[in-house]
Amino acid sequence: MATPVPGLDLDSPPFDLLDAGQKQRLAAAVDLAYHPAGTRIIEAGEPSGHVQVILKGAVQAFDGRGADSTRFADYGPGDLFGAFAVIAGRARHRYEAVQDTVCFLLPAATFHALLAENPRFAAYFHEALSVKRKLLAEQQQPGELGRLMLTRVAEAQLAPVHEVPGTTGIADAAARLREQRVDCLLVAGDAGPGIVTRTDLLDALALRGLPRDFPVGPLASRPLLSVRADAVLFQALVSMTEHHVERVVVVDAEGAALGTLGMAEVLAHYASISHLISLRLARAQTVEEIADAARGMTDLVRQLHAQGAKMSYLMEMVSALNSRILARVFALCVPAEHHDKLCLLVLGSEGRREQILKTDQDNALVLADGFDWPGLPAAMDAFSAALAQIGYPPCPGRVMVSNPHWRLGASQWRERIGQWARVADGQTALDLAITLDARPVAGNAALFEALRPAVQALGHDAIGLKYLAEATLSKGNPLTWLGQVREHGGRADLKRGGVFPLVHGLRVLALKHGIAHRNSFDRCAALVSAGALDRELGRDVPQALAVLMRLRLGQQLADLDAGQPASNGVDVAALRRLDRELLRDALRVVNAFKDHVADAFHLGG
């Protein structure tokens, strides 16, 4: 066991990656240094003889030299700095003590030896973003799994109970299953209640050759296997496994049937709530029922986030469910005979499949040329109102199908795309940017696909691309406010300073190089393959984007738990040390990527 060094936590990242002997050697080599306020501890471009961990005080890091230097990060107790200066032989930044500061000194020779002996410890510094993200996922998973093990049967998604007489024929029973959107029926009879499933009916017809009017009474399974609603859900799983059945009846304390529970729903609950939401959406017949199903979305996000799910996977899962919700609402608002004449698009983050929590509606409509339906305005008003009822608030800029500006015929859309190539102003750039991410989710997708060549043709307009790309640099240096977070109500806007530059820069680069992908992670990979982004930056950008999105999501879930609206502002001071390190690494990548965009489009400053 390592000899403890008071104030130096060798059980937290990255030192927890060391074995006991390595920790012992590190503890024996540690020294202390005192840096009076104003001391320049490490100069940019110069080597350092030590990696330093702050015991007391505060240190600031700066980019550049003299009047051109830019403050980008604050370091406090427990923070580590100077590792790059030891590894590379030169510091990336200038580090200064802003208070009287005491630091632990980890000698360069000892640090190099530990890097050489321990690949995971070395990877932490050489591949910081990916390794630190993995560490976080490993730390967060157990607590959430424990919570799921305590879930009660009543909290699971139960299918409604429908009972038929035992004299009901197979064909009539099958019709009831389809009509009620369930997988089983309770069967009444002199032998007591039984249950018949869709599989039972199929086997009776296909394998046993029974006639369509054969009564279902003899086909029912008896006695009924039931579980109480207050039982632990995991017990229901065990019971079904032991009795080789895939569905049980859920009863209350008096034995009255409340619904049925299938193996698929139980397994889905432990794997992901997403399947349960899908089941409820499939059964939903009204906006209220869709809204009820959609309420599980935040729980799904919370579960996957707590389990350390990759942000790209999480976003794809949520996007798939959002698309189903939008399609279901569209089907309720628009008669089926009009679906082939309309195409519903989602724009912006939803179009990129990067939306996580419910946010403003961003959608549009493409109409077949010559299509004339007097009920269209009312239907689109109803659609937007229904989404608001479900939890997607109206867009402040009215980028919604209820706004005639965002529902046009195919020829009108082509004309507008042509105008985008001729007009350079802020509103045009905004409209174009969100439309570049458009994705069809309902109606006739061919109507939109016919417009894509016109959109992609905008990538040949060098002047328009340059104007569009300037927005990547318009949000300022994201690293400066890490040292000044209290100037923004104690929050750092990760969307404005981090997510937007990456997402928008990738979007414009993709347009320039004729890449049709919508998703930012896919765009990045395609840009690397096309030689438009070097591999090192192409590796770091998606890692940085995932870090920024995860930290923002964590803050948003905390805001919701506190009864506050979810925002893009993250309380940096409240982040754990490892999260602060991740944020610094990610924002460093943002600046490097912005430099790449500036070079690619010949942008100044």
- Decide which of 200 and 485 is more confident: 200
Secondary structure (DSSP) of 534-556: -HHHHHHHHHHHHHHHHHHHHHH
- pLDDT tops 90 at residue 33: yes
For residue 519, the model assigns a pLDDT of 92
Note the pLDDT tens digit of each residue in 318-334. 888 888 889 999 999 99
- pLDDT tops 50 at residue 274: yes
Angle in degrees, CA 62, 50, 27, rounded to 5: 130
CA dihedral (9, 10, 16, 19) in degrees, to 10, reads -170
Task: List where CATH 1.20.120 sits in the chain.
Answer: 470-600
Angle in degrees, CA 558, 559, 562, rounded to 5: 90
Q: For residue 234, what pLDDT band results from cuts at 50, 70 and 90? A: low
Task: List where CATH 3.10.580.10 sits in the chain.
Answer: 153-270
pTM of the model as a whole = 0.67
Task: List where CATH 2.60.120.10 sits in the chain.
Answer: 15-126
Q: Is 447 exposed, middle or buried (0-12, 13-18, 19+ CB in 10 A)?
A: buried
Segment 580-603 mean pLDDT: 88
Segment 548-571 mean pLDDT: 86
Domain 286-444 CATH (choose: 3.40.140.10, 3.30.460.10, 3.40.50.300, 1.10.600.10):
3.30.460.10
For residue 231, the model assigns a pLDDT of 85
For residue 146, the model assigns a pLDDT of 43
- pLDDT tops 70 at residue 316: yes
For residue 565, the model assigns a pLDDT of 83
Q: What average pLDDT is seen over the chain?
A: 84
The fraction of the chain above a pLDDT of 90, given in percent, is 41
Q: How far is Cα 509 from Cα 507, in angstroms, rounded to an integer?
A: 6
For residue 587, the model assigns a pLDDT of 84
CATH of span 470-600: 1.20.120
- pLDDT tops 50 at residue 148: no
CATH of span 153-270: 3.10.580.10
- Three-state DSSP at 436 gives coil
Q: For residue 145, what pLDDT band results from cuts at 50, 70 and 90? A: very low
Domain 15-126 CATH (choose: 3.10.350.10, 3.40.228.10, 2.60.120.10, 2.10.60.10):
2.60.120.10
Note the pLDDT tens digit of each residue in 216-229. 999 998 888 888 99
For residue 577, the model assigns a pLDDT of 75
Note the pLDDT tens digit of each residue in 391-431. 888 988 899 999 999 999 999 999 999 888 776 666 777 88
For residue 241, the model assigns a pLDDT of 63
Task: List where CATH 3.30.460.10 sits in the chain.
Answer: 286-444
